[in-house]
Structure 1
Amino acid sequence: MKLGTRKSKLALTQSGMIATALGPDVELVGIESEGDRIVDAPLVGPLAKGFFTEALESALRSGEIDLAVHSLKDLPVENAPGLVVAAIPPREAPNDVLVVRADCWKNGGSLPLAGFAKVGSTSTRRQALLRAWGQTLEIVPLRGNVTTRVERLRQGRFDAIVLAEAGLRRLGAFAPGGEVDLTGLKVFRLDSVAWPCAPGQGALAVQCRADDVATRTRIATLNDPATAAAVTEERQWLARLGGGCSLPFGAWVSGEKWSFMLEQSGSAVLRSGMWLAAAAAALDDVLAGGTGTPTSPQGSPIGVQIHVHA
């Protein structure tokens, strides 16, 4: 059985976990995505959709591989024709972390940074949250794999960077001898309620051809129903708002439900007591200064009020 994967250390680690779980007959096949080739372009607009996934999906359709492993947050919310996500294994930590150079760490604020600190991130969601949390920060685009980003931080190009905790954990960053070395750097964990993650962040998606019943059945043994239900709801909100990974939107569902939507400028932050979100139908009214009671993607009312803080 051939398992397609991107060639980054994180992708190979994640795919290796799935291969080990499935059995010794699974062979990893490295495939270069557009996102691996184009490393200096911001992930916005049409470029963002399928940027890290299309090459793997093409290889699935052609029969070059039998299954593919994606970071779920990179996978477009629209169903890929002829393909199916057959399993979503248990989720790793969904939240982001702020990794800070020790000489730039400052206690006392909402973020442990001095004013006008230079923070690296290309994600529109992270940029918007940084603007909402720290109005005087200088936000600078930063792409590349996890190791590259940490190295650029060490070189002094940035005072801090924002990364997904899941990727750091999978690369062993918090254990001796890991693929990523955080020695001498400080890590500030960003709570998923106050700093919502990308929909599906921390989860993996195992994809195969829809008509390959044998592979679907085998992959399905890895599915975690609780994780699948939570991330599906998060992604339904993203789909309802018409966005992909370039939309500055975060959502986290776990027991109590939280979500988030904001303008890229960080000037309009939508919050509520139970949900930090706006349904698409209520969004215009909310941003105009009103309040609304959104409905879930299935149409049932959530029953909470949205407040706008400008």
Structure 2
Amino acid sequence: MRTITVGTRQSALALTQTNQVIDRLQRIADEAGIQCRFELHKIVTRGDQILDVTLSKVGGKGLFVKEIEQALLGGQIDMAVHSMKDMPWERQQGLAIGATPEREDPRDCLVTRGNVSLADLPRGARVGTSSLRRSAQLLAYRPDLQVESLRGNIDTRLRKLEKEGFDAIVLAAAGLHRMGWQDRISEYLSPDICIPTVAQGALGIECREDDAFMLNLLGRFQHAETALAVRAERQFLGRLNGGCQIPIGAHAVVKESDDGTVLEMMAVVGTPDGSRLIKEWGRDSDPVKLGDLLADKMIEQGADRIIAELGG
């Protein structure tokens, strides 16, 4: 009987999604006759400690994963459950993504006072978000909005909607779904209006690359379509060397065609004020080629210059 220590951030959402993963893995192990049990190990990351400034000003990559990956490398934990969107493009040497489970809804959503839609928000409405990507696309769609920085865990941001005079806040639908708070959603934002961040709604379960036991177990939890879509999105991100200080997003879907499995992806890079958005769409059966294709199309239109100006 192996005891598997699972590292996680200590927010309500992180604990909820980690426990959901543990429940599923325990069932998988039991069905396969693999003897193991799980225990939680909560870890505070740098991103959790710095809440008084926007993520884009904090700088650096891996703000929500670095300390957890150090615990993995040091042997304090055996696996970690990350929101894949928090994971940098560069893989940490000695570690591996053992599984990418089936993705939750990747869209952004609007939570408003009065349950009104984005189109029906009054002129000058105060909208809270921690994301430059969301800010840029909202301002491109509704330049009259007053978009303001809003940090904190999902439950904290929901409280701030009521207590700090915001008319609306923008959150990842996946988090509200995992918490069972779908009834708080006023509107799902179409990717035509707000393309999600790379890998939004997906989880990455990480372990040491030499841990054959964990790789065998986690491999049974892999969702092939999600892994393909996320790989295309992350390839796009890596090609552009994007980070949280850049308004950048990508959303890929897997479709079946007469020629077999194909990926379709839309992506965006823009300026924080929304005055310029570069959007592209592409299609390919190879996720790496698709990510590179869209990145190269955007570089031809000046995306690399936008990223350089913003410090990417």
Is contact 1:83–1:207 with CA below 8 Å preserved after alignment? yes
Provide the rounded CA distance (Å) in 2 between the counterparts of 1:60 and 1:210: 10
Return closer, same or farther for 1:118/1:45 CA change in 2, 3 Å cut-off: closer
Q: Is the alpha carbon distance of 1:231 and 1:281 closer, same or farther for their aligned partners in structure 2, counting shifts above 3 Å?
A: closer
Q: Matched residue of 1:196: which SS?
A: coil
Superposed, 1:26-105 pairs within 5 Å as 26-44=38-56, 47-102=59-114, 105=116
Name the residue aligned to 2:168. 160
AA matched with 1:133? Y
Q: Secondary structure at the match of 1:264?
A: coil
1:9-24 equivalent positions in 2, closer than 5 A: 9-23=12-26
Q: Secondary structure at the residue paired with 1:222?
A: coil
CA shift, 1:46, in A, is 6.4
1:258-297 alignment to 2 at 5 Å?
258-272=266-280, 279-283=294-298, 285-287=300-302
DSSP 3-state at the match of 2:127: strand
Q: Which residue in 2 is equivalent to 1:302? A: none
Task: Give the aligned CA root-mean-square deviation in angstroms.
Answer: 2.1
Residue deviations 1:260-295 (CA, integer Å, cap 9, x gap)? 2222221112235658x984545454249xxxxxxx
Question: 2:129 matched to 1:121?
Answer: yes
Do the aligned partners of 2:10 and 2:44 also contact (CA within 8 Å) in 1? Answer: yes
Distance change in 2, residues 1:285/1:259 (3 Å): closer
Q: For residue 177 of structure 2, what is the aligned residue in structure 1?
A: 169
Provide Cα deviations, 1:287-309, integer angstroms capped at 9, x if missing partner: 49xxxxxxxxxxxxxxxxxxxxx
Distance (Å, rounded) in 1 between the aligned partners of 2:300 and 2:209: 41
Task: Give the equivalent residue in structure 1 for 2:234.
Answer: 235
Q: Give the 5 Å matches for 1:134-283.
A: 134-174=142-182, 182=184, 187-254=186-253, 255=255, 256-272=264-280, 279-283=294-298
Q: Distance in 2 between matches of 1:279 and 1:88?
A: 23
Paired letter, 1:144: G
Contact 2:100 2:222 in 1 (8 A): yes
What residue number does 1:293 align with? none
Structure 1 residue 233: Cα displacement: 0.3
Deviation at 1:192, TM superposition (A): 2.4
User: Is the deviation greater in 81-90 or in 187-196?
Assistant: 187-196
Distance in 2, matches of 1:45 and 1:211, equals 36
- Give the TM-score normalised by structure 2: 0.82
Q: Which amino acid is 1:168 matched to?
A: L
Q: Distance in 1 between matches of 2:57 and 2:128?
A: 20
Letter in 2 for 1:86: G
Name the % identity: 39
Equivalenced residue count is 274
Matches of 2:174 and 2:110, distance apart in 1: 13
Higher percent of residues as helix: 2
Distance of 1:60 and 1:200 partners within structure 2: 22
CA pair 127-163 structure 1, distance change in 2 beyond 3 A: same
CA deviations 1:51-82 (Å, max 9, x no partner) are 10011001001100000000000000111111
Residue in 2 that maps onto 1:4: 7
Tell me the TM-score normalized by structure 1.
Answer: 0.83
Find the aligned partners of 2:178 and 2:281 in 1 and give their Cα distance: 33
1:298 alignment counterpart? none
Q: Which amino acid aligns with 2:219?
A: A
Q: Counterparts of 1:48 and 1:150 in 2: how far apart (Å)?
A: 27
